[in-house]
Amino acid sequence: MQRLLGKTTLRLAPRTALRLAPRALHTSVRLAAAVPRLPAPAFSAPALMPDGSFKTVCLGDYLGKWVVLVTYPLDWTYVCPSELTAFSDRAKEFHDLGAEVLVMSTDSKESHLAWTLTPRTHGGVAKMAVPMLRYGVDLLA
């Protein structure tokens, strides 16, 4: 485990789905321990790339690399931006450790673009250094 963003970050094997099992860390804190079991399912999703272009991103694009997949419910919420921008601000550190960060929500790539064009002081996330993917029922099918 490594400490990034002030939280404990688990390093997971590429293309690995997880079964989470609770493990006592302290008497008042519980941490879900990652237990690799099965290969992660292949997927592709439309994405807003860090350069502002749109692209379809496939999990296979990251074979041989560690992937940190961050999911959040919706763009324009007031809780998520601080966490997402923290991952974005430290994307180079993840890259230097051999990991790529992807963030996903159910919003469209156009919504992601509008959110990145909005300054952080006005509820946006400004420029993101990581791809922002859209997922939905079609991704899980």
Q: Show which residues are catalytic.
A: 80
d(CA 114, CA 107): 11
Burial 80-115 (b: 16+ CB within 10 A, else e): bbeebbebbebbeebeeeebbbbbbbebebebbbeb
